[in-house]
Amino acid sequence: MIITIVSWTAIVILLITSTGLLLYRDWRWGLGFLAGQYAGVFWLVLQHWPLGMAAAKLVGGWMATASIGMTLLNLPQQPESIEKYWTQGRTFRLFMIGMAALLALAAASIIESILPGIGIPVVIGGVLLTSMGLLQLGMTTQILRVILGLLTTLSGFEILYAAMEGSVLVAALLVVINLGLGLVGAYWLTASSEEKAA
Amino acid sequence: MSAPLIWIFLPLIVGGLSLLITRERSATMIGGGTAIILAVAALLVPIDEALSLGSFSLKVASSFQILGRNLTLDSSEAPLLAILFGVTALWFFGAESVGVARRLTPFGLIIISLLVASIAVQPFLFAALLIELSVLAAVPLLSPLDQTPSRGVIRFLIYQTLGMPFILIAGWFSAGVEASPGDLALTIQSTMMLGLGFAFLLAVFPLYNWIPLLMEENSPYIVGFLLWLLPTVTSILGMSFLDRYAWLRTSEQVISALRVAGLLMVVTGGVWMAFQRHLGRMMAFAAVAETGFILLSLSLDPKMGLSIVFLLLLPRGLGLALWVLSLSILDSNTESLRFSSVQGLARTYPLATAGLIIAALSTAGFPLLAGFPPRLALWNSLAQSSLGISFWLLIGILGLATGAIRMLAVMVMADEKTAWTSKESLAQRGMLSIGMIGLFILGLFPQAANPILDKLPLMFQHLGH
Nearest chain B residue to A148 by CA distance is: B158
pLDDT exceeds 70 at position B411: yes
* B63: β partners: B72
> Is some CB atom of chain B closer than 8 A to the CB atom of A8?
no
The whole-number average pLDDT for the span B357-375 is 95
In the structure, what pLDDT confidence band is assigned to residue A84 with cuts at 50, 70 and 90?
low
Q: Which of B111, B147, B184 to mutate to test the interface with A (most CBs of A within 10 A)?
A: B147
Distance from CA of A166 to the nearest CA of B (A): 11
Distance CA(A96)–CA(A88), nearest Å, equals 11
Q: Which amino acid is at A108?
A: A
The whole-number average pLDDT for the span B15-28 is 92
Residue-level pLDDT at A195: 66
Verify whether the Cβ–Cβ distance A114 to B147 is below 8 Å: no
Nearest chain B residue to A142 by CA distance is: B154
Residue-level pLDDT at B443: 94
The whole-number average pLDDT for the span B198-213 is 92
- What is the average pLDDT value for chain B, to the nearest integer? 91
Size of the A and B interface in Cβ pairs below 8 Å: 89
In the structure, what pLDDT confidence band is assigned to residue A113 with cuts at 50, 70 and 90?
confident
Residue-level pLDDT at B189: 85
Distance from CA of B144 to the nearest CA of A (A): 7
Residue-level pLDDT at A85: 53
Residue-level pLDDT at B268: 95
* ipTM over cut 0.85: yes
Q: What angle do CA B249, B449, B455 make, to 5 degrees?
A: 45
Burial of B263 from C-beta contacts in 10 A (0-12 / 13-18 / 19+):
buried
A168-177, B151-160, B185-194, B360-369: least confident range: B185-194
DSSP 8-state symbol, B100: -
Residue range A115-124, pLDDT digits in tens? 777 888 899 9
Percent of chain B with pLDDT over 70: 100
Verify whether the Cβ–Cβ distance A150 to B158 is below 8 Å: yes
Q: Which residues of A touch B158 (CB under 8 A)?
A: 137, 146, 150
Q: What is the pTM of this model?
A: 0.93
pLDDT exceeds 90 at position B20: yes
Q: Which residues of A touch B136 (CB under 8 A)?
A: 177, 180-181, 183-184
Verify whether the Cβ–Cβ distance B169 to A161 is below 8 Å: yes
Q: What angle do CA A18, B201, B42 make, to 5 degrees?
A: 130
Verify whether the Cβ–Cβ distance B136 to A198 is below 8 Å: no
The helix/strand/coil state of B1 is coil
Distance CA(B410)–CA(B406), nearest Å, equals 6
pLDDT exceeds 70 at position B439: yes
In the structure, what pLDDT confidence band is assigned to residue A89 with cuts at 50, 70 and 90?
confident
Nearest chain B residue to A114 by CA distance is: B186
Q: Which residues of B touch A177 (CB under 8 A)?
A: 129, 132-133, 136, 164
pLDDT exceeds 80 at position A79: no
> Is some CB atom of chain B closer than 8 A to the CB atom of A173?
yes
Residue-level pLDDT at A77: 67
Half-sphere exposure of B293 (CA within 13 A, CB side): 33
The helix/strand/coil state of B278 is strand
Boundaries of every domain in chain B: 1-122, 157-459
Verify whether the Cβ–Cβ distance B168 to A168 is below 8 Å: no
The whole-number average pLDDT for the span B325-346 is 92
**Among B335, B338, B267, B333, CA closest to B296:** B267
Q: Which of residues 141-160 of A touch B (CB under 8 A)?
A: 141, 143, 146, 150, 153-154, 157, 160
Verify whether the Cβ–Cβ distance B129 to A170 is below 8 Å: yes
Verify whether the Cβ–Cβ distance A165 to B172 is below 8 Å: yes
Residue A170 has its nearest CB partner, among B126, B145, B189, at: B126
Verify whether the Cβ–Cβ distance B133 to A176 is below 8 Å: yes
> Is some CB atom of chain A closer than 8 A to the CB atom of B143?
yes
pLDDT exceeds 70 at position A46: yes
pLDDT exceeds 80 at position B169: yes
The dihedral formed by the CA atoms of B66, B70, B75 and B77, expressed in degrees to the nearest 10? -90
Percent of chain A with pLDDT over 90: 57
Q: Which residues of B419-449 are buried (b: 16+ CB within 10 A; e: fewer)?
A: eeeeebeeebbebbebbbebbeebbeebeeb
> Is some CB atom of chain B closer than 8 A to the CB atom of A169?
yes
Q: Which amino acid is at A21?
A: L
Residue B158 has its nearest CB partner, among A137, A174, A192, at: A137
In the structure, what pLDDT confidence band is assigned to residue B449 with cuts at 50, 70 and 90?
confident
In the structure, what pLDDT confidence band is assigned to residue B58 with cuts at 50, 70 and 90?
confident
> Is some CB atom of chain A closer than 8 A to the CB atom of B149?
yes
Residue-level pLDDT at A109: 85
The whole-number average pLDDT for the span B406-415 is 93
pLDDT exceeds 70 at position A83: no
Distance from CA of A177 to the nearest CA of B (A): 6
In the structure, what pLDDT confidence band is assigned to residue A82 with cuts at 50, 70 and 90?
low
Q: Which residues of B touch A167 (CB under 8 A)?
A: 67-69, 126
Q: Which residues of A touch B143 (CB under 8 A)?
A: 187-188, 191
Nearest chain B residue to A161 by CA distance is: B169
Residue range A174-195, pLDDT digits in tens? 999 999 999 999 999 998 887 6
Phi-psi group of A136: left, alpha or beta (phi > 0 → left; psi -120 to 50 → alpha; rest → beta): alpha
Residue range B88-137, pLDDT digits in tens? 999 999 898 888 999 999 999 999 999 999 999 988 888 999 999 999 99
pLDDT exceeds 70 at position B238: yes
Verify whether the Cβ–Cβ distance B66 to A169 is below 8 Å: yes
In the structure, what pLDDT confidence band is assigned to residue A78 with cuts at 50, 70 and 90?
low
Residue B67 has its nearest CB partner, among A146, A161, A172, at: A172
Compute CA A182 distance to the chain's CA centroid, rounded to the nearest angstrom.
Answer: 12
Residue B165 has its nearest CB partner, among A157, A192, A194, at: A157
Distance from CA of B261 to the nearest CA of A (A): 24
> Is some CB atom of chain A closer than 8 A to the CB atom of B304?
no
Distance CA(B351)–CA(B347), nearest Å, equals 9
Q: Which residues of A touch B67 (CB under 8 A)?
A: 167-169, 172
Q: What is the DSSP pairing of strand B56-59 with strand B63-66? A: unpaired
Per DSSP, the residues of B389-442 read HHHHHHHHHHHHHHHHHHHHHHHT---TTSPP---S-HHHHHHHHHHHHHHHHH
pLDDT exceeds 90 at position B59: no
- What is the average pLDDT value for chain A, to the nearest integer? 88
> Is some CB atom of chain B closer than 8 A to the CB atom of A198?
yes
Distance CA(B313)–CA(B83), nearest Å, equals 8
The whole-number average pLDDT for the span B227-254 is 90
Distance CA(B313)–CA(B233), nearest Å, equals 11
Sign of the CA dihedral B229, B448, B239, B301? positive
Residue-level pLDDT at B435: 94
